[in-house]
Amino acid sequence: MAGLVTSTRQQSPSNGNQISSSSRSLGGENDDTNCSGKLLDLEALNCPICCVPLTSNIFQCDNGHIACPTCCNKLRNKCPSCALPIGLIRCRAMERVIKAVIVPCPNSMSGCIKKFSYGNELTHEKECSFSRCYCPARNCNYTGSYKDLYSHFKTHNGERGYSYKFLFGEFAEVYFVLTEYTSVVMRENEAGLLFVVQCFSEPYGVYVTVSCIAPSADEIGEFSCFISTTAVNYSIPHNIMTFKSPKVMKIRKLSSETPEKDFFLVPSFFFPGRQALKLRICISKLEQE
């Protein structure tokens, strides 16, 4: 008789992550078919080569070794276990197992009620409004959903660099003392969204980035940013620099690594001594299609 399998994540003290599953008759009439128990360890549902969760299009060699499409391409369709060709024959049985295993969002304990086939929940996590965000304040270890984080951040009001407020579409001035701190946080007056401005000092200048502290959830919206700064030495021709970012990045945690894209580079000769930097920043909300 056909059965229906549902699964939930559980933490086992001895075996780590496992899937707890239950199987019952679709008709629900025969109690003898109802059962529950541990189905398998979660790692068994990952590609044995790259350890990334398996989703669709799982391939096998003639000896039954399996691999994801990405690994098949990287290995040039040669099985690392037995050297037989791999990447042409689908492992339909394993694909059915993956589709049958339904797991909750990793943020289910925080309130998200969505469920997905195993592996697809990781894609959702990046966009989940319940994903944990990290407080951008120095020496603060608070984490929580972006809404909870915004409420928490009010406790940092009055601390240097954390009291900037602005309105979408209007300029706000931000002042950095680079010898004391390298990031400031701006709160939008109406929506209450938090944006962090970071400065990364390099030998040839300072990289400036603007990011929104939030997951990539549609409910938050999208934003653009315009930045300008004026040279301290007014004898420099064209002493005003500007930068426009068509789309502000959303991040859940600050990074200390110098960015490789979407940055505003202020050259060293614009502010001799490199002690302080003043920026004019305008963040605008983009219309959603």
Mean pLDDT along residues 36-52: 75
Q: Name the pLDDT band for 151 (thresholds 50, 70, 90).
A: very high
Name 171's bridge partners.
282
Q: Per-residue pLDDT for 110 more than 70?
A: yes
**Mean pLDDT, residues 210-229 taken together:** 93
Cα–Cα distance for residue pair 170/147, rounded to 1 Å: 24
Name the percent of the chain lying above pLDDT 70.
Answer: 82
Burial of 209 (0-12, 13-18, 19+ CB in 10 A): buried
Percent of the chain with pLDDT over 90: 45
Q: What is the pLDDT of residue 175?
A: 87
In this predicted model, what pLDDT tens digit does every residue of 136-148 receive, in sequence order?
998 899 999 999 9
Are 247 and 139 in contact by the 8 Å Cβ rule? The answer is no
In 3D space, the residue among 16, 17, 19, 120 whose CA is nearest the CA of residue 6 turns out to be 19
In sequence order, what are the beta bridge partners of 200? 207
Walk me through the domains of the chain, giving residue ranges and CATH numbers: 43-127 (3.30.40.10), 133-286 (2.60.210.10)
pLDDT of residue 40: 54
Model confidence, pTM? 0.70
On average, the pLDDT of the chain sits at 82
Half-sphere exposure of 183 (CA within 13 A, CB side): 21
